[in-house]
Amino acid sequence: MNERNTEDIVNDHFKNDEKYNDILLEKQKSSIPRVDKILKIASKSGMGGGKPEFIITFQKERPDYIIVVECKASVMKHESKNHDKYDEYAVDGVLLYSSYLSKEYDVLAIAVSGETEKELKVSHYLQLKNESKANSVFGDRLLSLENYLNDYKESQEKTIHTVDSIKKYIIELNNNLHKDKVGEDKRLLLLSGILIALDNKAFRSAYREQTEPVELARFLIESIKNQLKGKLDEKKIQIIISEFGFIENHATLSQKREVLFTIIKSIEDNIKPFIAKNKYYDVLSELYIAFLRYANKDKAFGIVLTPPHITDLFCCLALVNKNSILLDNCTGTSGFLISGMRIMMDDAKGDKQKENDIKNKQLIGVEQATHIYALACCNMYLHDDGKTNLMQGDCFNKETMTKMSMFQPNIGMLNPPYKSVDGDPSEIKFILNNLESLQSGGTCVAIIPMERVLSTSGEGLEDKINLLKNHTLEAVMSMPNELFFDSDVNVVTAILVITAKKPHPPNKETYFGYWKDDGFVKKKNQGRIDLDKKWDGIKTVWVNSYLNRKNIPGFSVNHVVKSEDEWCAEAYMETDYSTLTERDFAKSIKEFVIFQEMNLK
């Protein structure tokens, strides 16, 4: 057997690739000093340096990404059981090289064995920078260089790694802003403004030249204004720019050049590239969650942010598609609009006219508070979508309601402001306001405190009577008790799904779900996270159960209810005693106590 035959197959595969002239393909050693230095200590035998068969780099497009290939003539020498026979097996050897190179690069490790193309055996592993694990990817045959580049960029592993990295960076950024005396209520505005200004070519090229801190602050604000011109009307721009005025007068930002300059440079180097690669990832929401976690002051912003995985769940429950016209009448930072937009754009499948319609006609938001409205506009701007249909005002105002209805929305989503004092509109009144603007037969999905759906007297009962009189209650789902753990307003909540302008039939069964476990766990300094990657599977089970209206003991039930009844699964669901343990009993007692403390005071 001759290993050179295997090497020739691999060599010819890449040399015949139409992208060959865009890469650097080297054998056994690299002309890149950093790569060569790493390989010198990556010996398979412990003697001398490491010499993989091929080293491929994309110096122009992705200098941080490297492909390393190890070959063996015999397919019997493709992979050992424990991946610890580095000198004998192709997979073992290439993973050793990857473990070293991943200290500095994202690495695609390719193991190839066999002397003919017919018997060729191929394995791929992706190991991202500073990660200890290499994940199997990309199938069992050699791919084109274009595939290796694009599939790497779009790989789930790369996305997860990038998101985790940006979350760690946000923690560091928040700590620095705290040291620089930037208040919790101003941080998100400052960063969103910087992100917009960095889209301005003049600002991007000249901000480093500003030597006076107050001039840099003014240049930043003026660049934000210039960037918004032509994209928003003058009135909206005035509202937004007025919220950025604090930058020019801030004791630190406008007095110490290195402070504002460092923040801008940091955003340019870290968040801006992330947004460019993850177009529909709601980075402002991540920033907001991090700031709340460390400030413990939800009131500083005046928003109770819906967790991103729940905004995504709303889209699944409402069956959002490219033809949906989505309304959020208390839009906050636009989390629901961004999640909906992502689904709609994917469903458009590249139809440019449809994509344009989605951006300009199918996303409608209303926000009353000017500082939050400014954030919403900035967030939509950063996603290059829907900003012209954000309205600043009171959603209960007749003129605003007329404007909302003019778009003929067929999907409503909202997390209404929680009623805190007498005189405030109840959460269900916001839902009724949303439903009033939807087309007949449209779908509204809302999340509100559990105590509202349990109301059996007073204003709460009156709201429920009005809802059933004019609309159909399709479903109520009891959500995890600590869903809003990252918010200072940590209430137990329920999701409602309602069909607009179709009175609730007397004998109609409503679906009730006991959706208490979303797979998320609390981690110190991280809040609630999907640590074990359970959410996607749980979401599928939840959505399928709702769509198919299944009765599952301990999980869901269909039941006829009236306005004076309690609208929750706990009241009607059959208990699945077969799965109960002593730990479950103790957990339920704790949850009951928490529920009483939070909802029945």
Domain boundaries, the chain: 3-154, 159-277, 301-599
Does 238 score more than 70 pLDDT?
A: yes
The residues facing 232 across adjacent strands are: 229
Does 287 score more than 80 pLDDT?
A: no
pLDDT for the residue 154: 66
Does 476 score more than 70 pLDDT?
A: yes
Q: How far is CA 282 from the centre of its chain?
A: 5
Does 297 score more than 50 pLDDT?
A: no
pLDDT for the residue 299: 44
- Under 8 Å between Cβ of 434 and 412: yes
User: Domain spanning 301-599: which CATH class is it, in words?
Assistant: alpha beta
Average pLDDT, stretch 11-34?
92
| Band of pLDDT at residue 347, cut at 50, 70 and 90 | very high
pLDDT for the residue 59: 83
Strands of the 106-113 sheet, one edge to the other: 24-26, 54-58, 62-72, 106-113, 121-127, 135-136
| Band of pLDDT at residue 523, cut at 50, 70 and 90 | confident
Which 8-state DSSP code applies to residue 77? G
d(CA 125, CA 96) in angstroms, rounded, equals 11
Average pLDDT, stretch 284-292?
65
- Under 8 Å between Cβ of 567 and 548: no
Q: 224-233, 294-303, 379-388: lowest mean pLDDT where? A: 294-303
pLDDT for the residue 543: 97
| Band of pLDDT at residue 173, cut at 50, 70 and 90 | confident
Look up residue 310 and give its two tokens.
């729940």
d(CA 198, CA 275) in angstroms, rounded, equals 12
Q: 97-111, 281-295, 317-331, 469-483: lowest mean pLDDT where? A: 281-295
pLDDT for the residue 271: 82
Between 587 and 540, name the one with better pLDDT: 540
d(CA 9, CA 407) in angstroms, rounded, equals 59
Does 502 score more than 80 pLDDT?
A: yes
Question: 242: how many CB neighbours lie within 10 A of its CB?
Answer: 12
Does 79 score more than 70 pLDDT?
A: yes
CA dihedral of 330, 336, 337, 339, whole degrees rounded to 10: 170
Average pLDDT, stretch 130-134?
84
Q: How far is CA 21 from the centre of its chain?
A: 36
Between 525 and 403, name the one with better pLDDT: 403
User: What 3-state class would DSSP assign to 455?
Assistant: coil
Q: Whole-number mean pLDDT of the chain?
A: 88
pLDDT for the residue 217: 95
pLDDT for the residue 139: 82
Of 461, 460, 427, 464, nearest to 446 by C-alpha is: 427
pLDDT for the residue 294: 53
pLDDT for the residue 169: 81
d(CA 255, CA 217) in angstroms, rounded, equals 9
pLDDT for the residue 160: 56
pLDDT > 70 fraction of the chain, expressed in percent and rounded = 88
pLDDT for the residue 298: 42
- Under 8 Å between Cβ of 390 and 373: yes
Q: What are phi and psi of 221, to 5 degrees?
A: -65, -45
pLDDT for the residue 296: 44
Q: What is the pTM of this model?
A: 0.71
Between 41 and 287, name the one with better pLDDT: 41
What angle, rounded to 10 degrees, do the helices at 184-197 and 257-277 form?
70
Which 8-state DSSP code applies to residue 519? S
pLDDT for the residue 158: 61
Average pLDDT, stretch 65-80?
94
- Position 380: which residue type? M
Does 361 score more than 80 pLDDT?
A: yes
pLDDT for the residue 163: 67
Burial class (CB in 10 A: 0-12, 13-18, 19+), 217: buried
Average pLDDT, stretch 575-596?
69
